[in-house]
């Protein structure tokens, strides 16, 4: 049996576990505190997972999302003891994989719990009080809800209008639309008040009311979303988009090469009070998003530029673009992004790609090195890469 890590609740990819102790991860609740959090928000009721019909109009009254979150509350959450949570898929040589959720203790840098869960786990979001963990699944149209203290699954929340992908029928030579290759869901994030969970799915951006454990709103215009982060004041969400749904049918290798080239990317600003997309800009494909804790800057990794972009949170215009390339580090994709609580450093996880085939390779094949598999440490004062931390896995 082999295990392969998928999108992490930390930086978006499995990295050296010690980084989990350092980083405040993209948005609010994409990774975060252990179950020792002192928040008072009660866990959701034991709903069956039946979802409201997908609609741009909520089926039930929407809870508030823009409640003021003062600095003391932000500091409380940043100060909680933290695990890093990693969604995994275990390949047992059969047509079906088995999911597992790794709990990495950031003090010992060791996996201390690994409950089996779902099919092929994807992204992770943690409730602001640290008590609940929300996990997406590539192959199952649900969001799993896990108790951070007992490590047990509490329930699954059905994602309406989302179907299992046709991955078993995909071949190397066949041509497929981008929609046929998408997982059921990708990025997930909590609002700072813990009232809502936002999930990017094949049906669009779906909004889960944590009190009822139901999807209460679907925004189909954000079916092109791949990455997601929520501002600390709870007023905005930032969604990385890509125009691949309009590109017709291609082979798997052609799709990979287009992604590596970073063409057709964009960034969208969603107002969480009106639920309107108020701004869209074009850019290279974005691999990860993080929000500065004071909401003054957005950090985006850019495939096309192989760079970290610092973005204005309201206009989405670039404040600065910091190249992650060097004389040796040329063949990589910048992916997950994390920022320290004081905003002084940003970390970008980079995965190696093969320049001849255009495919993302593995650290075991290419060798873990600062040239292909590394975490770039970017100093915000000098706006320069000050270190490249070699990674042992992707």
CATH classification of the domain holding 127 = 2.130.10.10
pLDDT on residue 70? 63
55 belongs to a structural domain: yes
pLDDT at 226: 94
Q: Residue 272: is its pLDDT beyond 70?
A: yes
Q: For residue 345, is it within any domain?
A: no
Query: Token pair for residue 93?
Result: 């040589």
- Residue 352 in any domain: the answer is no
Global confidence as pTM? 0.76
pLDDT, mean of residues 22-37? 34
**pLDDT of 11:** 35
Average pLDDT, the chain: 77
Contact 126, 26 (CB under 8 A): no
Instruction: Tell me the pLDDT tens digit for each residue of 168-214.
Output: 677 888 999 999 989 999 999 999 999 999 999 999 999 999 999 99
Count Cβ atoms below 10 Å from residue 254 Cβ, excluding itself.
Answer: 14
Burial of 390 (0-12, 13-18, 19+ CB in 10 A): middle
Radius of gyration of the chain (CA): 19
Residue 188 to residue 295: CA distance in whole angstroms = 19
Bridge partners of residue 269, in order along the sequence: 238, 279
In this predicted structure, the answer to whether residue 55 has a pLDDT above a threshold of 70 is: no
Higher pLDDT, 171 or 7: 171
Which domain, by its residues, includes 39? 2-325
93 domain residue, yes or no: yes
Q: How is the beta sheet containing 204-209 ordered, strand by strand?
A: 185-190, 196-201, 204-209, 214-219
User: Is residue 368 domain-resident?
Assistant: no
Indicate if the pLDDT at residue 99 is higher than 90: no
Q: Is the pLDDT of residue 46 over 60?
A: no
Given a cut of 80, whether residue 261 has pLDDT beyond it is: yes
Kindly state whether residue 370 falls inside one of the protein's structural domains. Answer: no
**Residue 356 resides in a domain:** no
SS3 state of residue 69 = coil
> What is the pLDDT at residue 2?
31
pLDDT value at residue 212: 96
Percent of the chain with pLDDT over 90: 45
What whole-number distance in Å separates Cα of residue 136 and Cα of residue 121?
A: 6
Q: Is residue 334 part of a domain?
A: no
pLDDT for position 375: 85
How many domains does the chain contain in total? 1
SS3 call for 246: helix
75 in the Ramachandran plot: left (φ > 0), alpha (ψ -120 to 50) or beta?
Answer: alpha
Place of tokens 């993080």: 290
Q: What is the DSSP letter of 73?
A: H
Which element (helix H / strand E) includes 75?
Answer: helix 71-78
Position 118 pLDDT exceeds 90: no
Cβ atoms within 10 Å, residue 256: 16
């Amino acid at each position: 049996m082999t295990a392969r890590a998928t999108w992490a609740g930390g930086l978006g990819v499995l990295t050296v576990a010690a980084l989990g102790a350092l980083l405040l991860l993209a948005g609010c609740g994409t990774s975060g505190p252990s179950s020792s959090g002192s928040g008072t928000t009660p866990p959701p009721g034991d709903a069956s997972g039946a979802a409201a019909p997908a609609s741009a109009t909520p089926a039930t009254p929407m809870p508030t999302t823009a409640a003021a979150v003062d600095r003391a509350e932000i500091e409380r959450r940043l100060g909680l003891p933290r695990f890093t949570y990693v969604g995994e898929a275990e390949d047992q040589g059969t047509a079906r994989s088995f999911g597992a959720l790794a709990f990495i203790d950031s003090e010992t840098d060791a996996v201390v719990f690994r409950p089996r869960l779902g099919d092929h786990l994807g992204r992770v979001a943690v409730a602001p009080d640290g008590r609940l963990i929300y996990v997406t699944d590539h192959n199952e149209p649900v969001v799993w809800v896990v108790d951070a203290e007992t490590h047990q699954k509490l329930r699954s929340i059905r994602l309406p209008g989302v179907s299992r992908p046709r991955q078993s029928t995909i071949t190397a030579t066949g041509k497929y639309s981008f929609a046929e290759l998408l997982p059921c869901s990708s990025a997930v994030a909590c609002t700072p008040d813990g009232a809502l969970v936002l999930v990017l799915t094949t049906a669009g951006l779906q909004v889960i009311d944590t009190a009822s454990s139901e999807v209460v709103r679907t925004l189909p215009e954000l079916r092109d979303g791949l990455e997601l982060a929520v501002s600390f004041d709870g007023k905005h969400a930032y969604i990385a988009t890509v125009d691949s749904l309009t590109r017709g049918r291609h082979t798997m290798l052609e799709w990979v090469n287009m992604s590596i080239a970073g063409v057709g990317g964009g960034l969208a600003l969603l107002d969480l009070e009106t639920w309107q997309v108020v701004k869209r800009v074009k850019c290279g494909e974005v691999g990860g998003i993080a929000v500065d804790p004071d909401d003054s800057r957005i950090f985006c990794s850019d495939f096309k530029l192989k760079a970290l972009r610092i973005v204005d949170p309201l206009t989405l215009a670039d404040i600065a673009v910091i190249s992650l390339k060097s004389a040796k580090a040329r063949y990589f994709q910048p992916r997950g992004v994390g920022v320290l609580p004081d905003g002084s450093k940003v970390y970008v996880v980079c995965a190696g790609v093969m320049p001849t085939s255009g495919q993302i390779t593995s650290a075991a094949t290419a060798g873990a090195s600062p040239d292909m598999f590394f975490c770039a440490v970017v100093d915000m004062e000098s706006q320069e890469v000050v270190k490249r931390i070699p990674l042992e896995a992707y």
